[in-house]
Amino acid sequence: MLKKTYDFRKSENKWQKFWERERIFRFDPKSKKPVFSIDVPPPYASAGHLHIGHALHYTQFEIIARFRRMSGFNVYFAPCFDNNGLPTEKYVEEKFGIDKTTTTKHEFRKLCLKESKRVEKVYSDNVFKGLGHSYDWSLLYTTIDPESQKVSQMSFLDLWKKGFVYRSEEPTLWCTKHQTALAQAEIEDLKRTTVLDHIIFDLEGKKRIEIATTRPELLPACVAIFVHPEDERYRNLVGKKAKVPIFGHEVEIMEDKKVDPDFGTGIVMVCTFGDTADIEWWKTHKLPLKICVTKDGKLNELAGKYAGKDLTEARKEIINDLEKEGRVTRKENLEQTVGACWRCQTPIEFLPTKQWFIKTLDFKKELIKQGRKIRWFPKFYQKRYEDWTRNLAWDWCISRQRFYGVPIPVWYCKKCGKPKLAEEKDIPVDPEVDRPKGKCECGFSEFIPEEDVFDTWMTSSMSPEIAMRWLEKPRDFENRFPMSMRPQSHDIIRTWAFYTILKAYLHFRKIPWKDIAIGTYVLDSKGRGMHKSKGNIVWTEDLLEKYSVDVVRYWVGTATFGEDLPYQEKDLVTGQRFLTKLWNASRFTLSNLKGYRPKKPRKLTEIDKWILSKLNDLVKKTTKDFEEYMTGSAKTKVEQFFWHTFCDHYLEIVKDRLYNQSSYEKWEADSAKFTLYRVLLSILKLLAPVTPHVTEEIYQLYFRKNERSKSIHVSDWPRFDSSLVDRNAEKVGDIAVDVIASIRKFKSENSISLAEPLRYVTIDSNRVKPVLKDIQKTMRIENIRIGRAKGKVSEIFKIELEIRK
């Protein structure tokens, strides 16, 4: 039987071990059940401990996994880690105080790998297992695994074969700090105030013009000057030459409709490259190329005496020198937003470099169509995906000039420079270690290895293929692809979701998953994001320490996919109370069901029909909620039903039948026991995905001996049972509850104890007849009758009362 108090910690520990030992959450490859597969977001394990937002994010869809498992699915739930790419690299750099200029690539990678393994162990034990997550650990993968590298490289080879991969030298988004190319998706906005300088350029003769620029340091790269074709002020300038101050070279003045005559002076200088507009003008007007910025963010020899200085420094000096020449006429502050590296906030530069690309612009329409085949939860995020796709301006640059990551499986012929790709049977390869097979098409057999690695999304975008063992188990993969769902956060729709949809389309012409559910974003109690810099982070381990796993999960259960949730500690207190209540109500219920064997009784009393019918309704609605990722809504419904319908009303009404069984017929007592058993077990099951430990504890302590399943988490989800629907009983029961509430109110207003018996009660309604005895016993009424009543205790019914003195 259930003890007086529930020991959260002991219980949680015990059942986590039990689940692991019994392999309760194993995916069964031989099962005939339909598969429900989840494309889990591989977390970076680099953070030693995680904040409550991560815990919520991962637990939120874990609840779905448990729901589906109970609903008869063979759940494919593979844990994973992302130990690939910049975050790991950055972490190791910081932790060991090294950088790629002083360490060899090989050593550095080894260090990264070792560090990842260590942190992952801590992470999986403390976080995933600690939160009671139901992964099948035998399906674990990490993004740097040979198998993941293989999938990543295979993707590259396959797309090359299909003609979707190309290499070219083009202006690329470049981070001067990390010294690598970046994808459009890796660029973030950086709002800042900058200075707009008005600088005088000399023309032929004695004329001068004034140009406004925020980037005077790019003067050495100035290749042209533009004015708007309809700008009366400057029409006569077109075709003339201007002399670039300090650097002295001459550039032509041209016209283009894209110039905004109202900005600055209405004259713009084009430098290769200050921004995307420069690139466009450079392309359309076939301007010369002058690069003055180096890959590490300094000026090069083109800048003459400023060469070697970094951009901000050079800018100051150049402006200084211009001022000395009297060429700066105005300086004004300008609010601007520039693209910056998402990791280090360094404003990006546009540098022409040789990079590998995957074609995306050609498939915009198809990708939008693919997006429409997927069910988005909530729906409106589909729009965000479509907007992003529609507005894409660059093909996907997949090469990165980094140390750590999946190598690009390519060598270049020393003689003709042609790329030679690895063969499918040989991957994964590391071109710097492995040698290519055979000769180049040109007959030469010496090669230079590719040193770049893939963008981390190259691998992440293959997470469904990796998780489902595309290359290892092609037949299973074929049968099980697309996956059932992808949970993820909204900020990476343009990256993870987009690239994954792209890849599934380019490789298989399929969608990667049927559903995509956008997770909840946790805010602090004031509705602001949690950031280290703001000092408002709430750590998961602190909450687990202070409360318990189920309490934290209960809080997670209040969230609904796609909706933000402000963190309020009181919600955890509420959870704690709820679980205590659940324990106590179960203890009471089960202490009255000692030795009971579930058996459908001959007849059910009206009030039992009432709650069973309502339960049935609850099951139906809750199931639908879970199916549509509305966990918050499901949990609220169950909670309301449990606390109010079951505890406050039903249990109070049923007490007399349990305490004084001799004053009832046998079937009436049987009916009560049957109802209690069924309702409580159903409630536990409906709550099991959210609070798995306490429900398991109660299940094991009592129900296990009568039920087939060895864990509540693999038991059958409650089913809608049409034979229990009884609208009339629902109505009559509601009336009984109303009447009882009215009498309670009367007692409360008159400061009478609820235990105080009432001598006479007359109720002015025939409808209460089937529940008259329930009302009488619940309210301790000595004489109750239906008839004309003078009182007005209830708003709905007239009730006359006489208190015993």
Q: Footprint of RNA on residues 299-358 (CB under 7 A)?
A: 334, 336-339
**643-673: buried (b, 16+ CB within 10 Å) or exposed (e) per residue?**
bebbbebbbbbbebbbeebeebeeebbbbbb
Contact status, residue 559 vs residue 568, Cβ threshold 8 Å:
no
Provide the minimum distance between the beta carbon of 232 and RNA in the complex, in angstroms, as a whole number: 15
Q: Of the ranges 19-27, 114-122, 315-323, 742-750, which one interacts with RNA (CB under 7 A)?
A: 742-750
Tell me the C-alpha to C-alpha distance, in Å, between residue 360 and each of 156, 436, 455: 14, 29, 15
108 neighbors 99 (Cβ within 8 angstroms)? no
- With CB under 7 A as the rule, give the number of residues binding RNA: 86
The residue count for the chain: 805
CB of 378 to RNA, least distance (A): 7
Number of H helices, E strands in the chain: 23, 28
Pick 186 or 670: Cβ nearer RNA: 186
Q: Which is nearer to RNA, 278 or 430 (CB)?
A: 278
Given a contact cutoff of 8 angstroms between Cβ atoms, the answer to whether 450 and 411 are in contact is yes
Specify the amino acid at residue 26: R
Tokens of 431: 């071109």
Distance CA 562, CA 705 (A): 40
Do 642 and 577 contact (CB within 8 A), yes or no?
no
What are phi and psi for residue 80, nearest 5 degrees? Answer: -160, 165
In the complex, the smallest distance separating the C-beta of residue 490 from RNA, rounded to whole angstroms, is: 6
The reply to whether 580 sits near RNA by the rule CB under 7 A is yes
**Residue 226 beta carbon to RNA: minimum distance, rounded to whole angstroms:** 8
- Interface residue with RNA among 529, 598, 757, 787 (CB under 7 A) is 529
Nearer to RNA, 31 or 591 (CB): 591
By CB under 7 A, residue 757 contacts RNA:
no
Q: Where are the beta strands (DSSP E) in 639-703?
A: none
Instruction: Name the one range near RNA by CB under 7 A: 348-356, 378-386, 594-602, 669-677.
Output: 378-386
Distance CA 388, CA 384 (A): 6
Q: Considering only residues 261-280, where is the footprint of RNA by CB under 7 A?
A: 261, 263-270, 274-278
Q: Tell me the closest approach of the beta carbon of residue 209 to RNA, in angstroms.
A: 12
Least distance to RNA, CB of residue 600, Å: 25
Find the binding residues for RNA in span 614-643 (CB under 7 A). Answer: 633, 636, 640, 643
Q: Does 564 bind RNA (CB under 7 A)?
A: yes
Interface region with RNA, contact rule CB under 7 A, candidates 286-294, 412-420, 547-555, 566-574 = 566-574
Q: Taking CB under 7 A as the criterion, which residues in 381-400 touch RNA? A: 383-384, 387-388, 391, 393
Q: Does 195 bind RNA (CB under 7 A)?
A: no
Q: Which is nearer to RNA, 651 or 684 (CB)?
A: 651
The answer to whether 17 touches 699, Cβ cutoff 8 Å, is: no
Amino acid at 121: K
Would you give the end-to-end CA distance of the chain in angstroms? 41
Bridge partners of 396? 358
- The single residue among 60, 143, 460, 560 that binds RNA, judged by CB under 7 A, is 560
Stretch that binds RNA, among 16-24, 190-198, 296-304, 546-554 (CB under 7 A): 190-198
Tell me how crowded residue 460 is: count the other CB atoms within 10 A of its CB: 23
Q: Is the CB of 219 or the CB of 619 nearer to RNA?
A: 219
Q: Which of residues 222-251 bind RNA (CB under 7 A)?
A: none
- The label of the residue with tokens 């906030």 reads 345
284 binds RNA (CB under 7 A): no
Q: How far is the CB of 216 from RNA (least distance, A)?
A: 9
Of residues 491 through 510, those in contact with RNA by CB under 7 A are: 491, 494
User: The tokens of 549 are what?
Assistant: 């796993």
Looking at residues 666 to 725 of the shown chain, list those that interact with RNA (rule: CB under 7 A).
Answer: none
